Amino acid sequence: MLKLIQILWLFLPAALANMSPVIFKKIPFLDYPVDHHLKYKNKRILGNHKTWRGFFFGTLIAVLIVFLQSLLYPKTQSITLINYSEINIFLLGFLLGFGALFGDSLKSFFKRQINIAPGKPWIPFDQIDWIFGASILVSFYINLSIINIIIAIILLGSLHPLVNLISYASKIQKNKF
């Protein structure tokens, strides 16, 4: 049980980064597609849903959450996988946030190429893309075992549909999944 809490705590910034683009979608700041409307094989690379605004706010939220985690570290040492007093918290936040959004964008590229419309489900990739992205980037900075990554994919990937249902019910998101 402790391992699950530790993984949830480590990936919390990435999870919130992954949710941020939906939360900040009405802010007109940087509301421009990351792919600049470019195409690959006559299909949009990412589509209009992947914006610089999403990357900016998602990464910012992840950095802020890691900063808060570092402030709480003296009281949360028992539930952490890393020592927040020995790392660059801004770099960790950036890697978790940007990694989560990069993983989501990479999945979107493949969705466009196989003609799955934005917002349409692609199970299980919609649930785990951000975990892969965050895991890969953060692994360049901290030692993250393959077991922890597998646990994160299973645990967080299974929680993802529940978060989507809550977002749908609260009218934050248009689609259930």
Q: Where are the domains of the chain?
A: 2-169
21 vs 55: CA distance, rounded Å: 7
When comparing pLDDT for 177 and 112, which is higher?
A: 112
Q: Give the pLDDT confidence score for residue 41 in this predicted structure.
A: 94
11 vs 93: CA distance, rounded Å: 10
Q: Give the pLDDT confidence score for residue 166 in this predicted structure.
A: 75
Q: Give the pLDDT confidence score for residue 25 in this predicted structure.
A: 87
When comparing pLDDT for 169 and 39, which is higher?
A: 39
177 vs 65: CA distance, rounded Å: 25
HSE, side-chain direction, 13 A CA sphere, residue 176: 0
Task: Give 51's DSSP letter.
Answer: B
Q: Give the pLDDT confidence score for residue 74 in this predicted structure.
A: 93
Q: Give the pLDDT confidence score for residue 164 in this predicted structure.
A: 65
pTM of the model: 0.89
44-101, pLDDT tens digit by residue?
999 888 999 999 999 999 999 999 999 999 999 999 999 999 999 999 999 999 999 9
C-alpha separations of 87 from 100, 120, 127, 142, 143 in Å: 19, 38, 28, 9, 12
133-172, pLDDT tens digit by residue?
999 999 999 999 999 999 999 999 988 677 667 766 777 6
Q: Give the pLDDT confidence score for residue 176 in this predicted structure.
A: 62
173 φ/ψ sector (left φ>0, alpha ψ -120 to 50, else beta): beta
C-alpha separations of 124 from 39, 98, 135, 158, 161 in Å: 25, 21, 17, 9, 10
Q: Are 63 and 70 in contact (CB under 8 A)?
A: no
